[in-house]
Amino acid sequence: MAKFDNKTTSEDVFEVFGSQIKGRTFVLTGAGMPSIGCQTALTLAKGSPAHIILVSRTLEKAEPVLQKIAEIDSSIKTSFVPIELSDQDSVRQGAKEILAQAPKIDVLINSAGVMAIKEYTVDKKGIEMQLSTNHVGHFLLTNLLVPGLLAAASSSGGARVVNLTSAGYLASPFRFDDYNFSGGKTYNMWLGYAQSKTANILFSYGLTKRLASRGVTSTAVHPGMNLDTVLGSHLNVEDYAEIPAVAKATTGIDWKTEEVKNLSQIAATSLIAALDPELPAKSPAYLQDGVVSPALTHATDPDSVEKLWKLSEELVGQAFEY
């Protein structure tokens, strides 16, 4: 059994699980360069996948990654599908395009996200932007892609969904009584981020509950801290210094700053979640530093799992019964 930890690299994971990639179809959101999704896609490209579909706002973001994949292995089929996750119409159109190109989806990796938007911002439907992009958009996209996941599961024995969350979830449970921050009156950028990251974990639990019997499972992954991507490029040291007080006031935890990972290390846990053949039996699960770890109750509580699923259906105006 391989031993993974906070030093594990993408190359380490590929060495152990690279054989799990060949002939499979992977869909990744948020795969612009540089990003966790980009590093994940480039590692997958080394294992002869059948098809890699990159989802991003614009082709400009994805094109360099598509070119790199072609340099690694020009025989890999690649596709780009434009989706703005905070725009539900865009998500619906993009899901149709993905299924048209990939009727069977072995692995969906929901890697896109935004963090700590300083000014209260909402999407077209009035949903706070971090919740909209990080959770609601992925909730809708994933459920619309379930036919492809089920098709893969029935033919290959399983399909999986990887939701990138963050240790930031520790700072707040989902705010069912005020998820939209009273129209901005109670908004805090870190609470908004933490709530959306808690939602990622709750969603993995809800999805696995509904689809595990049909071969589709889900895990939530905390990749670690990295300063090379654009996720936190708008933040400064003082902004990050606010997190401990927010976490202490909201959940009572003592916040611990993590060691910074490089790009290869930051994608390792996502790759483990996507490829480890033993993981479906352990799902739903929360992974950190390459291993299954316990998550706080507010992110796994069955009542909260169901409440979030129902709220998410209301926010997208569609029920998903399985």
Q: Which sequence positions are flagged as catalytic?
A: 193
**Cα separation, 169 vs 167, whole angstroms:** 5
CB-based contact 28:41 (threshold 8 Å): yes
Helix (H) or strand (E) holding 67: helix 59-72
**Cα separation, 211 vs 218, whole angstroms:** 9
What is the DSSP annotation of 180-248? TGGGGTT--HHHHHHHHHHHHHHHHHHHHHHHGGGTEEEEEEE--B-SSSSTTTT--HHHHTTHHHHHH
**Cα separation, 155 vs 177, whole angstroms:** 42
User: How far are the Cα atoms of 144, 170, 199, 268, 295 from residue 247, in angstroms, in the given order?
Assistant: 34, 7, 16, 26, 15
